[in-house]
Chains A and B, each alone.
Chain A
Amino acid sequence: MKPSESDKDWELWEVFVRSQKGLAHRHVGSLQAANHLMALQFARDLYCRRGEVKSVWVVPSREVYAAHPDKSNISYEAGSTNRFRDPETYITHSEAKASDAS
């Protein structure tokens, strides 16, 4: 039989599940579906067969924009090198008292 329109891959979706109130949605995997309604149904069957589910998100994979430290123009270095955001770089009450005493 000839390949038809129906043999083409459906769009790829990323699935996010919130398993408990108070938790963020977590990426659980991906699936193929023709549209968002179908993606939500498939997400139930594929990723929600066990355990509690509070909410499900499906997002077309092509709508996810990503940056990667090695590959984009955005620098992420400041996060790990600028120590002035770390509380440990500042003295505490007990350290201040200790230095007064000495």
Chain B
Amino acid sequence: MSVDHAELVHFEGTINQGLSIEPDDWMPGRYRQSLVRMISQHAHSEIMGMYPEANWISQAPSLRRKIALLAKIQDEAAHGLYLYSAAETLGAQRSKNESELRNGRAKYSNLMDNAATSWADVGAIAWLGDGAGIVNQVSLQDNSYGPYARALQRICQEESFHQRQGYEIIAVLAKGSAAQKEMAQSAIDRWWIPSLMMFGPPDSLSSHSEQSLRWRIKCEPNEVLRQRFVDDLVPQIVDLGLNLPDETIKWNDTRQSYDYGEIDWQHFKDLVSKGGFQRAERLEARTNAWYEGAWVREAALARNNQLRKAS
């Protein structure tokens, strides 16, 4: 038995026992690469998730809503940072990771490329978008890589408030004036499919899935997670007197789940490769933020050098 083979057996044994792999443990190159890609994309999505909502901080309809939105956006920034740290434990340099996001080489959830065009969109992003994120992340808490699993536990604890405040925004609008109800409906219409797409294409269309499940990089197939989200959300949306933008949605007694319409995965593939509606604006905003912050980073380093000399 070669050294590598023995290591692989030990590695897979650890995973099969439900134990975690830690940064200083031996791991196959493909495990490391898959995790770096996945954690980095997750981190980028958290960071880019701040952009569609940020415009609405100054336009929030009340102080309570403004405080909640600010706190949510602050959480997204923190989540991005927890995840960049987790990727760093696998040797993924933070500065390289961030520059790949700015120059468009890195992928992130294309939901974040959509524009929040009304206040109801802020609610829908949090309720549906974060809601889909939570279903995915709760499942990933059982991920085999310790630092990622621990970051996800913290993220999940914090994100439930995002979804709840989003639900509240939509629930209040749905019971408001005709115009408010229409605003809520239009937001559901526009954010429903992008939220379903957040789970990714069916695993039969993905090249990485089987090994990812075996190594517990992923814990459940995309279709299972998407169905869980649909089953959670459909009754809640209907209870608010709102409609789903999919006429094929129907309770299936045999499956004890809702049937829902086909998703256009070719369109999804185009979005992933070319970026969503506002990709260019988003990356420009991210790049500007980076360069506008350069003087702060330089000042911090200068101050640091001063402190070192003084000590």
Contact = CB atoms under 8 A, between A and B. Distances in A.
A50 B158 contact: yes
B298 A31 contact: no
B274 interface: no
Interface stretch (B77-85, B118-126, B169-177): B77-85
A63 interface: no
Contact of B78 (A32, A46, A66): A46
A38 B302 CA distance: 13
Interface stretch (B43-51, B56-64, B88-96, B213-221): B88-96
5 contacts: A4-B294, A4-B298, A30-B85, A35-B307, A49-B74
Contacts of B259: none
B161 to A, nearest CB: 9
Contacts of A32: 85, 94
A12 interface: yes
A77 interface: no
Contacts of B304: 34-35
A34 B82 contact: no
B294 A6 contact: yes
A77 to B, nearest CB: 18
A32 B81 CA distance: 9
Interface in A51-90: 66, 68, 71
Contacts of A12: 85, 88
A9 interface: yes
Contacts of A38: 300
Contacts of A50: 158
